[in-house]
Structure 1
Amino acid sequence: MSLEPDLLADRRRLRGRLTLWRGLAILALFGALALVFGSGARDALPGAQHVLRLPVSGTITEDRRVLEALDAAATDNSVRAVLVAIDSPGGTMAGGESLHTALARIARHKPVVAVMGATAASAGYMIAMPAQRVFARESTVTGSIGVLLQSVEISQLLDRLGIQPQVIASGPLKDQPSLFRPLTEEGRAALNRVIGDLYAQFVAIVAAGRHMDPERVRTLADGRVFTGRQALEAGLIDAIGGEREARAWLAAERQVPESLPIRDIETRSRAERLLSSATESIMKTLLSEWLGVDAPLAVWQPAR
């Protein structure tokens, strides 16, 4: 015997309320725990020996908390080695430089290995340079050694629309490049000098990291990407493989046992992790039990 439509609707509303209050209760619990432990306190790196993994994904920018964690790892005796897991198409030059410098400081005291995933290009390739051993998959896309500056100029479009931008600049190069007027020869020359200097820095980083002659690096640093196999042939990486091969190399060449656990670098406070866990739990509850079940059925019910 089927239930009346009004009774079904009441049951769904009741379940929705219960789910909401359940989520609020979970949030309140984690909030209380966060207050107990303190929002400002940070966990120290675990005392047991381990390999520290630094996952790098997405666009690379400068992250103060990551840099501080890496500086702490450089002098932490429980960190036997650092494994940099890269899956990034690149990012800002300054972001790549900051990570490269921090990893280079660690490499002076303990082993650093880099493992490239699907992509490790441009700044994603740069941050692998302090590693004593660089691994990539055969199909990894890497390289793209170079610097890029892009801009758009829409003055002709604005003319057609009858729009006349008014720009007041302190000098002829202050608004170069500009959306509102073509790049001048003087502006192009100035920007070329900036790009040229950044490019020279990138080439020097690769030359030092790969123990290559800078002229050899320049023949490879025309912005092209390489597969992992091509990069190995060109000397841009050391071996084909992933994390398993990196751990085997650490054990054989740097006496870092493969039995040691791997721990991801953690830059969030205990309170942030608790709140993040609470939020994730609430969202899963709401989406799976409330939105995922009741809402679609309340909106659309196929006729039987």
Structure 2
Amino acid sequence: MAHVPSDPPDMPGIDPATAGDLGGGTGPFNPVVRALRRSRRRWRTFAFLAIAIAILALGLRIGQDRFNADSDYVALVVIDGVITTNSARLDILQKLESDERVKAVVLRINSPGGTTAGGEELYEAISALREHKPVVAIISELGASAAYMTAIAADRIIARRLSIVGSIGVLFNHVNAGGLLQTIGIDLEKVASGPLKAEPDTDEAMTPQVRASLQSLVDDSFNWFVDVVSERRKLSRERTLELADGRIVNGRVALEDGLIDAFGGQREAIDWLEKERDVAADLPVWQVYPQPLSFEERFVRILGQQAGSLLGLSGLPAKGETLDGLVSLWHL
């Protein structure tokens, strides 16, 4: 009697483990299994697209609600980092003056200061804005030098007990690299129209004439700073000069010295606006500067970051700001 094998013979190109699935069973070759897998992939794709469309619609709706011409709000202006002149920021502040939807303005400040011109620009712009809208300045971590110059333009200054405040003063930095240049064999020569042209120069120490000229520049700017602090904080000039030796203080001391009005943050600012300026406490607070990225811009930025990561560009340095000339700055 012929022997009948208990297992099917091996067939070329077919794995015995899956041979039984060619016409039935639950293996990957089963037509029903393949159809179910295709259907599952389609549903996943559909669900992903549905979620993406819903998020996009929500983002667009939020953007429309935010800038609804009939909606009143409190404008939030963020001032952080090193302060310099800024035409875009100035334009926003000027537009807030005539915007009927804006019922008040909150300044959120976190800055060591910056150029004297940048601080003056902000002081003048906020002073003009204050004539049309109530303005509250909130010093979060740091409000020094030109940043404090900015804050005093507001109707009220609020800070935390441990915020850093002050550094009322003006500074002109100069690096004398003459010794270094001589060491490496570089000798600079110049022809100038006058003894103070292009002074101070980096290849030599200041002469008494140059130092006196720069001191006059610093003193004149400093006196203006002292005058506006005295006027806005209702301090005598003598008392202001005592506080304007460049010192920094925390919020607790700043309140005792009359440099700020109260402790707190945004909640306390809104409470004051409601009690003292009749601004409804339930108005939304919208950040108008720097203008937040839209939903589409955030989406594109994420895609760009992912693409940059894939291309190995994520470690490229960003361009930073530099300062030159007369500054009202605590520390970089």
TMscore range, shorter length: 0.7 to 0.9
2:307 is matched with which residue? Answer: 286
2:49 is matched with which residue? Answer: none
1:8 is matched with which residue? Answer: none
Residue of 166, 174, 191 corresponding to 1:168: 191
Counterpart residue identity of residue 124, structure 1 = A
1:156 is matched with which residue? Answer: 179
What is the CA-CA distance between 1:76 and the residue it aligns to? Answer: 1.3
1:238 aligns with 2:257: no
The alignment's C-alpha RMSD in Å is 2.5
Residues 226 and 266 (structure 1 numbering): CA distance in 2 closer, same or farther, change over 3 Å? closer
* Structure 1 counterpart SS, 2:151: coil
Single out whichever of 273-282 and 116-125 deviates more from structure 2: 273-282
Contact 1:154 1:181 in 2 (8 A): yes
Larger Rg: 2
1:26 is matched with which residue? Answer: none
What is the CA-CA distance between 1:277 and the residue it aligns to? Answer: 2.9
What is the CA-CA distance between 1:168 and the residue it aligns to? Answer: 2.1
What is the CA-CA distance between 1:48 and the residue it aligns to? Answer: 1.1
Residue of 125, 129, 139 corresponding to 1:106: 129
1:200 is matched with which residue? Answer: 223
1:116 is matched with which residue? Answer: 139
Contact 1:146 1:202 in 2 (8 A): yes
* Structure 2 counterpart SS, 1:207: helix
Q: How many residues align?
A: 249
Residues in 1 aligned to 2:156 and 2:193: alpha-carbon distance in whole angstroms: 49
Instruction: Report Cα offsets for 1:185-224 as digits up to 9, x if no partner.
Output: 0000000000000001111111121111122111000101
1:36 is matched with which residue? Answer: none
What is the CA-CA distance between 1:44 and the residue it aligns to? Answer: 7.2
Structure with the bigger RCO (C-alpha within 8 Å, sep 6+) is 1
TM-score by length of 1: 0.76
1:277 is matched with which residue? Answer: 298
Question: Unaligned 5+ residue runs, structure 1?
Answer: 1-42, 293-304
1:177 aligns with 2:206: no
Question: Unaligned 5+ residue runs, structure 2?
Answer: 1-65, 313-332
**Aligned-pair identity (%):** 39
1:69 aligns with 2:98: no
What is the CA-CA distance between 1:274 and the residue it aligns to? Answer: 7.3
Residues in 1 aligned to 2:211 and 2:146: alpha-carbon distance in whole angstroms: 24
Residue of 203, 209, 227 corresponding to 2:232: 209
Contact 1:69 1:267 in 2 (8 A): no
Residues 45 and 238 (structure 1 numbering): CA distance in 2 closer, same or farther, change over 3 Å? farther
1:83 aligns with 2:83: no
Counterpart residue identity of residue 89, structure 2 = V
Query: Whose helix fraction is larger, Structure 1's or Structure 2's?
Result: 1
What is the CA-CA distance between 1:257 and the residue it aligns to? Answer: 1.3
Residue of 282, 285, 288 corresponding to 1:259: 282
Residues in 2 aligned to 1:267 and 1:86: alpha-carbon distance in whole angstroms: 12
Residue of 37, 56, 80 corresponding to 1:57: 80
Residues in 1 aligned to 2:68 and 2:209: alpha-carbon distance in whole angstroms: 52
Instruction: Report Cα offsets for 1:225-244 as digits up to 9, x if no partner.
Output: 01010100100000111111
* Structure 2 counterpart SS, 1:127: helix
Contact 1:57 1:88 in 2 (8 A): yes
Residues in 1 aligned to 2:263 and 2:172: alpha-carbon distance in whole angstroms: 32
Counterpart residue identity of residue 298, structure 2 = S
Single out whichever of 179-188 and 205-214 deviates more from structure 2: 205-214
Instruction: Report Cα offsets for 1:58-86 as digits up to 9, x if no partner.
Output: 00111111111111111111110000000
Contact 2:76 2:289 in 1 (8 A): no
Residues 79 and 224 (structure 1 numbering): CA distance in 2 closer, same or farther, change over 3 Å? same
